Amino acid sequence: MRRNIDEAAQEKRRREAWHSAWLASGWMLLTGILILLLRSHFQIRGLGGFLMLCTAIINFGGIAPVWILLKTRLKEIEGGEEDAATEY
């Protein structure tokens, strides 16, 4: 049973969650591409090049968890868990 759900606050939280997910994904994508471009432009080979490649892959791989967490966050917002917590 839902009580005292603040629809305006929920909408604001949803908007902020979406904004945060887009910002984080864009930043990870941008930095991953930048690392690969720098690696290619300066022709960095050996251990340094390998570490740069690994860093770029980690950046790209971090994008999927952001969207999984967004889905979880939206469910929490929809469930009114934060609204219930404000009652205490």
Angle at 66 between CA 74 and CA 64, to 5 degrees: 120
CA 15/CA 28 separation, integer angstroms: 20
Hey, how many other C-beta atoms are within 10 angstroms of the C-beta on 56? 20
Model pTM? Answer: 0.84
26-49 pLDDT tens trace:
999 999 999 999 999 999 999 999
- Average pLDDT for residues 61-75, to the nearest whole number? 97
Percent of the chain with pLDDT over 90: 78
- What does the alpha-carbon distance between residue 69 and residue 47 come to, in Å, rounded to a whole number? 33
